[in-house]
């Protein structure tokens, strides 16, 4: 009898326990669902606020669907996989110094509270499930680009090819391209020295002026010097002629001469004869200098049509046709745009191409003189 009674109690206890567990579980499941739907609602509001902030502040550079433009593509699975919300948050708050990407956080002088930046991050993150793969070109430091930066920022104090020498005022320039020093100091040392400078001794600090990529290009240049190489910069004669013209318009004859003499060193083709008379006229402060430099600047670069034909066949024919009759690309024989555009402007056009069309830019694949040759060849198709 006793045993039977206990069994009954045990069964009741067991049943009660099961009911209790079930009740607790049910309550827990309900609670999770309730919190989840609350979170979803908050996220939806955050996303809407983020969308509005994005539309008002970011589309001009990053595109209405995050496809990129002046700024990088943000609707990009490669980026979104790599960058956590914290990384996106930090980038938006502090911007990218030395690029046009502004700082948006109030701590950095921007307009947004932390909550607003989180809203934007929520909005950007929502692209992730359907984001396309946008391979962002990996940055490869380039000595020739470094040489262009060197010419613009370092040349005046460190001389041609970093060799130092006479400063033209009775003093000497500090050599950077000095084999003993180049062997003694490694890349990290140069990176630090360039970034920090030696302000007390007249070496400016470049850390807040040059971007990290630009500094890497300079380090690549210094690396090439260490290997005994001479690096030709990517600065075009067109750029130098432009700088000379600007200086002359500002009546700064000294700088005009500086730029024009450098341009002459890398200039080519039939227009080469036009430099020396202009240089003489600037030295003599004659007004003809400005007229002649203005027309040189519009005519530059003048190339060789015969070479240009070969380049055309290799690089342009597939889209514009063997006879310039057009195809994927426009008809070029004849072509009103070519007729109405100066050599200088056609050259700029060829460098960058036309955004959003199959007409790519040729910067980096055709040199200044090759582009000049192609332009000269296109001109032969414009004659009646
Ligand atoms: C004036 C143009 C401009 C505006 C406006 C702008 N950006 Fe940018 N943004 C850039 C550029 C350029 C870069 C790439 C910088 C670099 O070279 O590192 C960039 C980079 C970024 C990156 C890093 C991407 C990566 O590849 O690491 C994020 C995130 C970003 N921007 C978000 C925003 C948001 C959000 C807004 C609006 C609140 C905004 N940007 C507004 C120009 C802009
Ligand atoms: C206004 C003149 C000036 C400019 C511009 C300048 N430098 Fe210097 N730089 C100096 C002087 C002066 C020194 C030597 C400082 C000293 O006495 O220690 C120096 C030293 C250096 C050194 C250390 C050399 C060594 O072996 O001790 C490096 C590297 C260097 N500069 C690189 C650069 C680069 C790269 C740039 C351009 C981004 C640049 N400098 C622009 C004036 C300049
Ligand atoms: C992959 C195809 C392609 C190649 C290769 C190509 N182009 Fe084009 N090009 C185009 C397209 C497409 C356009 C028209 C773009 C547009 O819609 O505005 C164009 C436009 C032009 C124009 C402007 C014409 C006008 O009326 O606005 C010139 C000039 C030109 N190309 C020259 C060249 C030269 C020179 C080369 C070779 C170095 C070249 N293109 C190579 C596709 C190409």
* Res 376: pLDDT: 97
Q: Report d(CA 360, CA 7) in Å as an integer.
A: 87
Residue nearest to atom 39 of ligand 3 (CA): 316
How far apart are the CA of 383 and the centre of ligand 1, in A? Answer: 47
Query: For residue range 77-132, what is the model confidence (pLDDT) as tens digits?
Result: 989 998 999 999 999 998 887 677 889 999 888 999 999 999 999 999 999 999 98
Query: For residue range 39-89, what is the model confidence (pLDDT) as tens digits?
Result: 888 889 999 999 999 999 998 888 889 988 778 899 999 899 989 999 999
Pocket of ligand 1 (CB under 6 A): 57-58, 60-62, 70-72, 74, 79, 88, 91-92, 96, 99-102, 104, 120
Mean pLDDT of the chain: 89
Q: Report d(CA 206, CA 219) in Å as an integer.
A: 13
Q: Report d(CA 353, CA 362) in Å as an integer.
A: 7
Q: Report d(CA 195, CA 153) in Å as an integer.
A: 13
342: pLDDT confidence band, cut at 50, 70 and 90? very high
Query: For residue range 291-329, what is the model confidence (pLDDT) as tens digits?
Result: 999 999 999 999 999 999 999 999 999 999 999 999 989
Ligand number nearest CA of 318 is 3
Give yes or no for residue 358 having a pLDDT over 60. Answer: yes
* Res 213: pLDDT: 85
* Res 298: pLDDT: 94
Cβ neighbours around 16 below 10 Å, total: 10
Residue nearest to atom 17 of ligand 3 (CA): 357
User: If DSSP states are collapsed to H, E and C, what string results for 37-51?
Assistant: HHHHHHHHHHHHHHH
Ligand number nearest CA of 373 is 3
**Cα–Cα nearest to 140, from 220, 226, 234:** 220
Give yes or no for residue 172 having a pLDDT over 90. Answer: yes
Write phi, then psi, for 203 (nearest 5 degrees): -100, 110
Query: For residue range 4-49, what is the model confidence (pLDDT) as tens digits?
Result: 556 666 666 666 566 555 665 555 556 666 666 778 888 899 999 9
- The three-state secondary structure class of 358 is coil
* Res 162: pLDDT: 96
Mean pLDDT for 244-252 is: 95
Q: Which of 53, 60, 61, 95 to mutate to test the pocket of ligand 1 (most atoms within 8 A of CB)?
A: 61
Question: Lowest-confidence range among 11-20, 162-171, 194-203, 246-255?
Answer: 11-20
Per-residue tokens: 325: 């009759």
Query: What percent of the chain stands above pLDDT 70?
Result: 90
Write phi, then psi, for 198 (nearest 5 degrees): -135, 70
Ligand number nearest CA of 139 is 1
Q: Report d(CA 174, CA 193) in Å as an integer.
A: 14
| CATH T-level fold of 305-380 | Cytochrome Bc1 Complex; Chain D, domain 2 (1.10.760)
Phi/psi region, residue 279 (left: phi>0; alpha: psi -120 to 50; beta: rest), is alpha
How far apart are the CA of 329 and the centre of ligand 3, in A? Answer: 5
Which CATH superfamily hosts domain 2-130?
Cytochrome c-like domain (1.10.760.10)
Per-residue tokens: 31: 């609670």
* Res 140: pLDDT: 81
How far apart are the CA of 101 and the centre of ligand 1, in A? Answer: 5
CB of 47 within 8 A of CB of 119? yes
Which atom of ligand 1 is nearest the CA belonging to 104?
38
E strand or H helix at 193: helix 187-196
Q: Which of 307, 309, 320 to mutate to test the pocket of ligand 3 (most atoms within 8 A of CB)?
A: 320
Domain 143-226 indexed as CATH 1.10.760.10: yes
**Cα–Cα nearest to 238, from 366, 359, 372, 380:** 372
E strand or H helix at 119: helix 114-125
CB of 294 within 8 A of CB of 245? yes
How far apart are the CA of 158 and the centre of ligand 2, in A? Answer: 7
First and final CA of the chain: distance in angstroms?
124
Q: Report d(CA 29, CA 21) in Å as an integer.
A: 12
Domain residue limits, the chain: 2-130, 143-226, 237-297, 305-380
**Bridge-based pairing state of the strands 172-173 and 165-166:** antiparallel
Dihedral sign from CA coordinates of 359, 360, 361, 364: negative
């Amino acid at each position: 009898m006793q045993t039977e009674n206990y069994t009954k109690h045990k069964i009741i206890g067991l049943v009660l326990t099961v009911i209790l567990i079930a009740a607790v579980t049910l309550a827990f499941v309900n609670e999770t669902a309730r919190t989840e739907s609350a979170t979803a609602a908050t996220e939806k509001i955050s996303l809407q606020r983020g969308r509005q902030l994005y539309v008002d502040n970011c589309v001009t550079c990053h595109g209405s669907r995050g496809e990129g433009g002046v700024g990088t593509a943000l609707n990009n699975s490669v980026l979104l996989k790599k960058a956590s919300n914290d990384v996106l948050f930090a980038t938006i708050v502090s911007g990218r110094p030395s690029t046009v990407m502004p700082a948006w956080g109030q701590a950095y002088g921007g307009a947004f509270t932390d909550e607003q930046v989180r809203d934007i991050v929520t909005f950007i993150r929502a692209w992730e499930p359907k984001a396309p793969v946008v391979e962002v070109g990996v940055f490869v430091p380039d000595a020739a680009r470094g040489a262009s930066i060197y010419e613009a920022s370092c040349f005046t104090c460190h001389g041609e090819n970093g060799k130092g020498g006479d400063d033209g005022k009775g003093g000497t320039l500090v050599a950077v391209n000095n084999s003993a020093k180049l062997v003694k100091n490694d890349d990290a040392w140069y990176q630090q020295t360039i970034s920090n400078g030696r302000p007390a001794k007249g070496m400016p600090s470049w850390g807040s002026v040059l971007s990290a990529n630009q500094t890497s290009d300079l380090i690549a240049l210094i690396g090439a010097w260490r290997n005994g190489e001479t690096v030709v910069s990517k600065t075009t004669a067109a750029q130098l002629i432009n700088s000379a013209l600007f200086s002359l318009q500002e009546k700064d004859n000294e700088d005009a001469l500086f730029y024009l003499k450098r341009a002459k060193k890398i200039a080519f083709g039939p227009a080469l004869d036009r430099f020396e008379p202009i240089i003489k006229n600037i030295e003599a402060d004659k007004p003809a200098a400005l007229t002649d430099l203005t027309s040189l600047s519009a005519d530059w670069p003048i190339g060789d049509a015969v070479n240009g034909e070969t380049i055309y066949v290799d690089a342009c024919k597939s889209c514009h046709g063997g006879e310039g009759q057009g195809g994927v690309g426009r008809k070029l024989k004849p072509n009103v745009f070519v007729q109405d555009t100066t050599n200088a402007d056609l050259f700029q056009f060829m460098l960058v191409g036309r955004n959003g069309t199959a007409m790519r830019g040729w910067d980096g694949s055709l040199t200044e003189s090759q582009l000049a040759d192609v332009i000269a060849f296109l001109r032969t198709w414009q004659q009646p």
